[in-house]
Amino acid sequence: MSDDLRFLLALQDLDIMIREVKDKSTSRELENMGFELTGLDELMEARENLISKISTEMVKRYEKLSKVYQMAILPITGEICLGCFGKLPTKFFSTETRKDIITCENCGRILYII
């Protein structure tokens, strides 16, 4: 797995956490359970830190996708994109042309083969 991909996945996880903290109903629920919600600044700082490690081009693509989709980056196990359920071209899976990060031609999500 390339560094770009590893950092991108971490960024996506982080964004999900940030979304949850920002979500008012979740926040209230957590506060009622006795959690203090002071972590947002730290999360945003970690986000900045992560972004500085990823190529600008990939960050731009990710930011654009994550505005549209809950999950911008998805693992694939078969020849189907789990975002849009479109079939992926076989060239993605042949050993000569196989890449670490591929793009679904149908929905544009960032995919990686596991």
Query: Contacting Zn ion (CB under 5 A), which of 37, 40, 44, 84?
Result: 84
Query: Contacting Zn ion (CB under 5 A), which of 81, 87, 96, 97?
Result: 81
| Cα dist from 87 to 1, 36, 39, 78, 94, whole Å | 23, 45, 40, 9, 15
17 contributes a contact to Zn ion by CB under 5 A? no
Q: Which stretch binds Zn ion (CB under 5 A): 12-20, 30-38, 55-63, 79-87?
A: 79-87
68 contributes a contact to Zn ion by CB under 5 A? no
Beta strands in 1-114 (DSSP E): 73-76, 102-103, 110-113
SS (H, E, C) 70-100: CCCEEEECCCECCCCCCECCHHHCCCCCCCC
Query: Contacting Zn ion (CB under 5 A), which of 54, 65, 76, 104?
Result: 104
Q: Footprint of Zn ion on this chain (CB under 5 A)?
A: 81, 83-84, 86, 104, 106-107, 109
